[in-house]
Amino acid sequence: MICVTICDFGYDACCHALKRVEKYLGTDPDIVAEIRLDLCGLTEDETQMLFVKSRIPLIATFRRRSHNLFLPAMLGGAAYVDIDGIASDDKITDIIHRITNPRTKKILSYQNYQKTPSLKELTAYYRNGVKHGADMIKIVTTAESVEDSERVLSLYRLRREGELESDIPLVAYTMGYAGSYSGIEACACGAPLLYCSPDSKTRLYPGMPALNEIENLLTHQIKGDIHIPGSKDMTQKAILASMLSVERSTIYGFSSCKDTDAALSLARRRAKSVELHDGVLSISGGGLHTGSHLKKKNEHRSAIPGMFLKGSMSQSVDDTNFVGESGLLARMCFPIVAQIGHQVTITGEGHLLDRTMYSCQDALEKFGASCVLTAEGTLPAIVNGPLEGGTVTISGRDGTQLISGLLMSLPLSRKDSTLRVENPTNLPYLLTTINVLGHFGISLSYGMEDDVLVFKIPGKQKYSANDIYIEGDWSSAANFVVAAAIFGELRLHNLSPVSSQADREIIEIVKKTGAEALWDDNNTLTVRRGHLNSFTFDVSHNPDLFPILSVLAAFCEGTSTITGLDHIQYRDSRRIETMCQALKKMGVDIRPSQDRVDINGICLSRRRISGTLLHGGEYITSGDHRVAMALKIAGTGAGGKVSIDDMDCVSKSYPSFKDTLHDITR
């Protein structure tokens, strides 16, 4: 609620100020006003009359020289009584006992006009208010620095985490220009009252917001409901598993984007039949002719041509598998199509043709297949299998995409396999793969041996057709989780609170920074803006979160650190460099180093009040869909228009992103 502080001198001046506040009832029916009885110079009769005539709830604020006005304010119907918490315990108890109306709420106030005390003293104020049975506790100090304001605002975190051992409502902020943003941030933390002056000429203290300024400062820029599309990662894996099954499988919750469409196109080529209607995908698998690869290997292998330049293909290759621009689909396909048992081509388009295929060639050769890439180690590729099985050690530094493909293909090999992964990263993505495999009847075991992740994979297995529901995509949802945490409030549908997806971690991150994230009984996630503080997070297992976490950090007070970046550099684009250059251009203090990025953030309210909103302008994405979405979210907190050079790239994962953001932006 907005609380307008009236401290005009004299009855007529107070009545005039109150009438101006009452005009806001049409747009804000919950508005209240505080009458500073210690400053207004009212008589007892005038006090009672002012409270009787008011059309809005009034707070009667008493200090030493106004205790004689207590009874007239009570008789006039004061909705709240503001009691000086610095008074002696006996005096506080005496005033509380004189409140006879059970509907009158007690506010115990602690104010310091000289400084901001230590956190220990601030928490002692709150606990004293609890001891006296206050209905609300108000702590207001004078800030000489942002650090002073942050110390006061930290009370909300302590209360939220149970450190204050009470949930009595708290109004805590600072006076002075250094604390001018703190009242707005306190509101975001759940403060029941936001104090302001009737106008800019009657501010009670420096930095106090005026009533006509509040609307812009409190406006939620983001608000609404969003249905999150299905998981791109899970969808592609489910399509491949259905394709490898012989019977009919049904995939519910299919969401179309370039990457899932590429997997669907591959299934149309290799499966017996594919039908799609209203998000329900039915696939009758062809099994990749898996029976044929159990013949002697030499009967299948065609001659492999020598190294070729990018874009140049041997005329003898006629089994071409197109993977679009999906790095996941491409790398999973290497070992999967190798199991066909004859020479197969893998190719794609766009930026994928510039991306190195990591250790695909080495892994396939270790399992007895062959793989030829371009001179630059990129697509197109010629693969000839099958995979023989056995024990192989590979590095996990380059991510899990190839490993997922091996886990999906090795169960089809003649021999049992042991896959040893050194320096594993992005582990939650492997859990999604394992869950999908289990759903389609494939068994394997895994565990850590020292620092090596070891998979035991029985051979000669068959995929069993099954039905599967695709849960919402947490990587896509992360953009809107962060948008709500910074700019407003959103209700997100189609997400699983127990998902194995790596990027579900975004919920814990924003909660630690100070935002609110709650699930209801229908598994709808509500995220609300809060006062955001700096964080530290290792993205080794969550590389897709880096762009949007960088935006989050820009709006968190203090220095945030994002680590684990060494293996992201060439994922989808030069993601780190592109994102850092864009945020620097936007005016964010961001400092990248070899394996980490440090970002000095400023919370939204302080940016608005101090004129340090992000800069508008034209920004480059390097064709990276995650960067494009993150920069568009960042643009919500910019002082000018943010233009993205290639917003069409978001169709790779979230074609409706632009429309969705438009619909929830106020």
Sign of the torsion angle spanned by Cα atoms 548, 549, 550, 556 = positive
What confidence tens digit (pLDDT) does each residue in 376-414 have? 999 999 999 999 999 999 999 888 999 999 999 999 999
Taking 50 as the threshold, does the pLDDT of residue 259 lie above it? yes
Per-residue pLDDT of 470-487, as tens digits, reads 999 999 999 999 999 999
- Return d(Cα 553, Cα 548) in angstroms, integer: 9
For residue 456, pLDDT beyond 50: yes
pLDDT at 90 over 90: yes
User: DSSP string covering 36-59, please?
Assistant: ETTTS---HHHHHHHHHH-SS-EE
Under DSSP, the state recorded for 238 is H
Inform me whether the pLDDT recorded for 312 exceeds 50: no
Rounded Cα distance between 64 and 366, Å, is 85
pLDDT attached to residue 308: 29
Span 497-523, average pLDDT: 96
Residue type, 122: L
- pLDDT tens sequence across 117-162: 999 999 999 999 999 999 999 999 999 999 999 999 999 999 999 9
Residue 88 has pLDDT above 80, yes or no: yes
> Rounded to the nearest 5°, which phi and psi values hold at 457?
-125, 105
3-class state of residue 152 by DSSP: helix
Has residue 317 got a pLDDT over 60? Answer: no
Q: Is the pLDDT of residue 69 over 60?
A: yes
Dihedral sign, CA of 591, 592, 597, 603?
A: positive
Residue 533 CA, distance from chain mean position: 14
Burial degree of 640 (CB within 10 A; 0-12, 13-18, 19+): exposed
In the three-class reduction of DSSP (H, G, I as helix; E, B as strand; rest coil), residue 479 is classed as helix
In 3D space, the residue among 477, 496, 601 whose CA is nearest the CA of residue 551 turns out to be 601
Q: What is the mean pLDDT of residues 76-104?
A: 93
Residue 288, pLDDT score: 67
pLDDT value at 435 more than 90: yes
- Neighbouring CB atoms inside 10 A of 448's CB total 10
Q: What pLDDT is attached to residue 185?
A: 96
- The pLDDT of 451-464, averaged and rounded, is 97
Per-residue pLDDT reduced to its tens digit, 183-193: 999 999 999 99
Q: What band does 314 get if pLDDT is binned at 50, 70 and 90?
A: very low
End-to-end CA distance of the chain: 20
pLDDT of residue 307: 27
Phi and psi based region of residue 629 (left: phi greater than 0; alpha: psi -120 to 50; beta: remaining): alpha
Render pLDDT for 269-311 as a digit per residue (tens, 0 to 9): 999 999 999 999 999 997 765 433 333 333 333 322 332 223 3
Q: What is the mean pLDDT of the chain?
A: 92
Grade residue 315 by pLDDT with cuts at 50, 70 and 90.
very low
User: Which comes out higher in pLDDT, residue 576 or 305?
Assistant: 576
pLDDT score for 217: 83
Interatomic CA distance for residues 49 and 77, integer angstroms: 10
Residue among 499, 519, 585, 487 at smallest CA distance from 222: 487
pLDDT in tens, 591-600: 999 889 999 9
Of 292, 288, 293, 287, the closest CA to residue 245 belongs to 287
Q: What residues does 141 pair with on adjacent strands?
A: 174
For the stretch 204-231, pLDDT in tens is 999 999 998 987 788 778 999 999 999 9
What percent of the chain is predicted at pLDDT more than 90?
86
Query: Tell me, what amino acid is at 11?
Result: Y
Q: How confident is the model at residue 32 (pLDDT cuts 50, 70, 90)?
A: very high
